[in-house]
Amino acid sequence: MMSAEKAKSPIARLFTGIGSTLALGFLVSILSVLTAAANYMAYRAGNVAGDYEAEGDRLLALSNTYYLEANQNIIVDYNMYDGFYINTSVDEFNAAYYLEQFSQPLRDSISRESLWDQQYYEEMYAVSVATVAEAQAAFDLSNVEDQREAGFQLSMLIAAVGLAFAAYSSLLKEENRLRMVFALIAFLLLAYSALTFFGVLIS
């Protein structure tokens, strides 16, 4: 006649193994480490996201400064060109003075015989536009790190729930079927949390 242990189905034997004290201790340890690791990685990702966001804010403020500076330079070009135009053929000395004050983009637009054209304004605002692009890149990196932080937090939450199931399972007697059920749930949550954690880690 088969023994009671041999009569158990493979799943029942698996439950018994998972529900054993040694297996539960191992499960609790792994879930604890995974919870701590996910929490630490979420903290790091949050700090990196904050640094990128601060850099983006700084660059955005700097781009505004460059934009205002470009506006002032354009106004100066307007005034210098007016002075040059008024003094041409009237006072060549003053006309030459105003001509020397032209910005390089204005000189280039005159050379193109297309005064105040689109290229002129693009050149005048080029630094501001480039700085805005740098700021947007920093914000994009911040968003990526925010998503990584959320992924690690999800992994931590799953591991913490699994840890609760494993800990409660360890308090139940071996003959209690809930012990094996909770242990299996904890094991499944461990697998899910680990997949989430390493998925975010290598992304």
Per-residue pLDDT reduced to its tens digit, 111-124: 988 888 999 999 99
What's CA 179's distance to the chain center, in Å? 41
- Residue 123: helix, strand or coil by DSSP? helix
Q: Nearest to residue 19, comparing CAs of 171, 192, 198, 149? A: 171
Q: Contacts for 112-116 with beta carbons within 8 Å, 24 or more apart? A: 115/81
Q: What is the pLDDT of residues 12-30, one digit of tens each?
A: 454 455 547 778 888 899 9
Query: Any idea of the CA torsion for 181, 185, 188, 189, to the nearest 10 degrees?
Result: -170
Q: What is the pLDDT of residues 130-181, one digit of tens each?
A: 999 999 999 999 999 999 999 999 999 999 999 999 998 888 887 788 888 8
Give the pLDDT band of residue 5 (cuts 50, 70, 90): very low
Task: Taking the CA atoms of 155, 158, 162 and 163 in sequence, report the sign of the dihedral they define.
Answer: positive
User: 2 vs 183, which has greater pLDDT?
Assistant: 183
Q: What is the pLDDT of residues 59-108, one digit of tens each?
A: 999 999 999 999 999 999 999 999 999 998 888 899 999 999 999 999 99
Reported as half-sphere exposure (CB side, CA atoms, 13 A), residue 95 has a value of: 8
Q: What is the model's pLDDT at position 11?
A: 44
Sketch the domain layout of the chain as residue ranges: 11-201
- CA–CA dist 30, 194 (Å, integer): 10
C-beta separation of 28 from 111 below 8 A: no
Q: Nearest to residue 45, comparing CAs of 142, 116, 119? A: 142
Q: What are phi and psi of 88, to 5 degrees?
A: -60, 130
What's CA 15's distance to the chain center, in Å? 41
Q: What is the model's pLDDT at position 180?
A: 85
Question: What pTM was estimated for this model as a whole?
Answer: 0.76
Helices then strands, each counted (H, E), the chain: 8, 0
pLDDT of 49 over the 70 cut:
yes
